[in-house]
Structure 1
Amino acid sequence: MQKLTAVEALKYQGDPLADAVVADLVSGGTTEVVNEVLAHFRDNDQPIPDDLPEPVRRYLVATDAPPDWADLHRVADAYEFFVDDGVHVASVLSFGAMVNCYAQPRPSRVLSLTHRLNQPHRRLSETSQFVLNLMGRDPFGSGGRFVPTIQKTRLIHAAVRYFITRSGEWDVEADGVPLCQQDMLGALLIFSVQVIDGMRRMGIAVTEREAEGYYYVWRVTGALLGIPADAMPETLVEAQALNAQLVEATYGPSPEGVELTRNLLRLYENLVPGKAFDGVVAAMVRQVVTPEVADWLEVPRSRAWGRTVGTGVRVMRLLERSEDRSRAATAVLDKAGSLLLGGSVRTLTNGQSTALTIPSDLREKWLAAGVCPVATPPRGAQGDN
């Protein structure tokens, strides 16, 4: 009970470090300059740009390394899981985790107040890039891109908090701080615990060691995102229990969640050629999330496609148990993730150029396995790590 009380207090906690930077930038009228400079700040080992205001420089220095307790050897162990199943992670995250986020009424309302209900392509593209940067061989070390991605994400969240709390449309006393640390912890559990659960519901075999390693990488990521270390469970079993108490217990219907889900499904359907396969998208979502969540968010039912996806899942489980997973199972399991990641690069920004890239070492291994959705980096991409 004491643990839940401490977690509940996170509802009223923002990110003091990033919040102070945003308040300073807004008061000084320098937000546009900082945005332009940070757009070119991409790599973990890239020197901090000289032409940044001092508060921003101090923030970047203070947030550029994982916590002292982080075991980078455990992080490195998780890389092999990404090599084998990273495309599956992307698929389940897209079909399940994104939708589960929309089952939370409070964060869905935040999205509505930032006018992003009708921009699912941007949210999916940003989330995909965040996860791809996490999948690199050494995401927190030299040569990666993950640390600047996290630092920018914290500033974006701080900006959202700043403007929403001053909009007159949010009651902090009643609803807590928008994008509070409780919301951040909930998102971490959705992207870690629930992705593993979703993969298993899709028939993808994930060992306990792989699941623990995947959660551990997210736990280190959470610390860099500003989530208090003592709020994040140390083990996967504890994380699963907190997920049930903190996240799944808050699920419910909301007009914002329904609209977000409807727009996301429409985006996925546009990635699938022709109209004949539109029903398979909703059926995939219903396979990954619980029936209650799917009903709350008004995910369409399709008896025919539901049976087809269910049969496919049973086939996947049989293939996962078989010794020859290399050809038949790979072709079945990788299609959805490849489509979504490839689609992210080509079309999720409505035809506009996007910086979505796959870490080079991961891309090489996926190419060798024949599952990489993008053979080469997008034109103009530099330092593709």
Structure 2
Amino acid sequence: MRWTTEFLDALRQEGDPSADAVIADLAADGTTGHVNAVLREFTRNDQPIPDGLPDSVRDYLTATDAPPAWADPERIAGAHAFFVDDGVHVASVLSYGAMVDCYAAPVPSRLLDLTHRLNQPHRRLAETSQFVLHLMGRDPFGTGGKFVPTLQKTRLIHAAVRHLVGASGEWDSARDGVPICQEDLLSALLIFSVHVLDGMERLGVSVTGQEAEDYYYVWRVAGAMLGIREDIMPSTLAEARELDRLLVARHFAPSPEGIALTRGLIDFYEALVPGKAFDGLVPAMVRQVVDPRVADALRVPRPGPWARFTAAGVRLLRRLERAEDSSTAARRVLDKAGGLLLAGSVRTLAGGQRVGLEVPTELREGWGGARREPAPGCPADL
């Protein structure tokens, strides 16, 4: 596909017609609260659609409960195997890097400000992490998984935001496009796939070509189910990287909201570390996994001595990974460390709030038995 300015501008005026129609129906009937209550209990792929839902919601859930026909189970299984092996590193890059990259575009950051999410970094982190954990389960789209209801409800939440913000009188659609437009969804898809792979490279984690392709592939399947037009999603990782460079150049820029979101994220992490001895570690981690130009634009503090510490950690991780290829003992050390880090991350993301994460059983086993934390039934209400 030839990506032109005119084509991308047109995508800014396009939402998700299927989900948008459902939300318009609920808003007209005043049944949003009732539907929220019913959908909170709808959490498993193999769970029957609950009774008591309007026809428009039932039709939507039926129409969106399966991956596209081109989805390849072997490629999806490859992404799962990669995540079992390196999921802890993926989680680190997601937390310290991808979230910051999401704040680098002014329009989505402004939308977060309007929806009062600037002061809720713990909830955004937990929602994003839960989405990824369900996606990276053994069979995320099949029996026993929990990803499909998570995805269906996330898609409705996006539509609800478009409806509410669009009707608020505080959003200029002619200038900024519809809220959570097709281009913004596409950009987010690339951040959580391409940018994560780039961040892992900066972190010193080796990823094979096939692992990278499979990781991007499962995100492309998820993107189709999330309402992104299939014809605008690059079919290969190389094409995705090319489009990502174009979208970064087109949209990444500093903004007051993006800077505030980044500061809030750093403050949240730093508040979890007692005392002053580790001040600077969080900015050092952010700067390790994001593009330096993004870190500068969003005013991520210079880490000082911690920069040397993170660089040394990257070198150590590379040595351990090389040892892992030939040493059972090294693999056990890394797996155990990964399991402990995952368990700590689950508790950390909750941050004392009523927000938890549920780690699929097969991932917990693969990471050394990280324990399960309670999870909400729905990432947010409509």
TM-score w.r.t. structure 2 length? 0.92
Other-structure match for 2:60: 59
CA contact (8 A) 2:336 2:367 kept: no
**Matching of residues 1-385 of structure 1 within 5 Å:** 2-4=2-4, 5-322=6-323, 323-324=325-326, 339=341, 341-343=342-344, 345-367=346-368, 372=369, 374-378=370-374
Matched AA of 1:88? H
Is the alpha carbon distance of 1:209 and 1:311 closer, same or farther for their aligned partners in structure 2, counting shifts above 3 Å? same
The root-mean-square deviation of aligned C-alpha atoms, in Å, is 2.2
User: Is the 2:126–2:356 contact (alpha carbons within 8 Å) kept by the matching residues of 1?
Assistant: no
DSSP-derived class of the 1:295 partner? helix
Alignment check: 8 A CA contact 1:18 1:154 kept: yes
Secondary structure of 1:164's aligned partner: helix
1:325 and 1:314, CA in 2 relative to 1: closer, same or farther beyond 3 A?
farther
Amino acid at match of 1:378: P
Q: For 1:268, what is the secondary structure of its paired residue?
A: helix
Q: What CA distance in whole angstroms lies between the structure 1 residues aligned with 2:49 and 2:353?
A: 28
Structure 1 letter corresponding to 2:169:
G
Within 1, Cα distance between the matches of 2:28 and 2:125?
Answer: 31
d(CA) in 2 for partners of 1:354, 1:31: 22
Q: What is the distance in 1 between the residues matched to 2:266 and 2:180? A: 24
Moved more, 345-354 or 79-88: 345-354
Contact 2:339/2:367 (8 A) holds in 1: no
Deviation at 1:306, TM superposition (A): 0.6
Deviation at 1:318, TM superposition (A): 2.7
C-alpha deviations, 1:347-366, integer Å up to 9, x for none?
53452433510011111121
1:82-101 deviations in Å (ceiling 9; x for gaps): 11011111111111000000
Between the aligned partners of 1:351 and 1:329, the Cα distance in structure 2 is 33
Quickly say closer, same or farther: Cα 1:325–1:271, change in 2 above 3 A: farther
2:2 is matched by which residue type in structure 1? Q
Asked if the contact 1:11–1:182 (Cα under 8 Å) also holds between the matched residues in 2, the reply is yes
Distance (Å, rounded) in 1 between the aligned partners of 2:119 and 2:233: 32
Could you tell me how far apart the structure 2 residues matched to 1:127 and 1:16 are? 23
8 Å contact kept, 1:316–1:329: no
What CA distance in whole angstroms lies between the structure 2 residues aligned with 1:380 and 1:232? 30
State the distance in 1 between where 2:88 and 2:184 align: 26
Do the aligned partners of residues 216 and 301 (structure 1) sit closer, same or farther apart at CA in structure 2, a change above 3 Å counting?
Answer: same
Distance 1:379 1:149, change over 3 A: closer
Number of residue pairs matched? 375
By how many angstroms is 1:27 displaced? Answer: 1.4
Deviation at 1:202, TM superposition (A): 0.4
Residue deviations 1:125-156, cap 9 Å, x none? 00000000011000011110001001000111
Taking the aligned partners of 2:371 and 2:110, their CA distance within structure 1 comes to: 38
Shift of 1:186: 0.2
Question: CA–CA distance in 1 between the matches of 2:262 and 2:31?
Answer: 35
Residues 323-376 of structure 1, C-alpha deviation per residue, up to 9 Å, x if partnerless? Answer: 45655587679868954x545543534524335100111111212xxxx5x324
Letter in 2 for 1:362: L
Where 1:69 maps in the other structure, the secondary structure is coil
Counterpart-to-counterpart distance in 1, 2:340 and 2:132: 14
Structure 2 unmatched ranges of 5 or more: 378-382
Question: Helix, strand or coil for the counterpart of 2:12?
Answer: helix
In structure 2, distance between residues paired with 1:338 and 1:300 = 28
| Cα-to-partner distance string for 1:264-309 (whole Å, 9 max, x where unaligned) | 1111113334331131111000011111111111111122001111
Q: In 2, Cα distance between the equivalents of 1:334 and 1:158?
A: 41
Instruction: Tell me, yes or no, if the aligned pair for 2:12 and 2:177 is still in contact at 8 Å.
Output: yes
In the TM superposition, residue 102 of structure 1 has moved relative to its aligned partner by 0.4
How far apart are residue 78 of structure 1 and its match?
1.6
Give me the identity figure in percent: 62
d(CA) in 1 for partners of 2:252, 2:332: 33
Equivalents in 1 of 2:84, 2:157: separation in Å?
Answer: 30
Q: TM-score, normalised by structure 1?
A: 0.92
Name the SS of the counterpart of 1:272 in structure 2.
coil
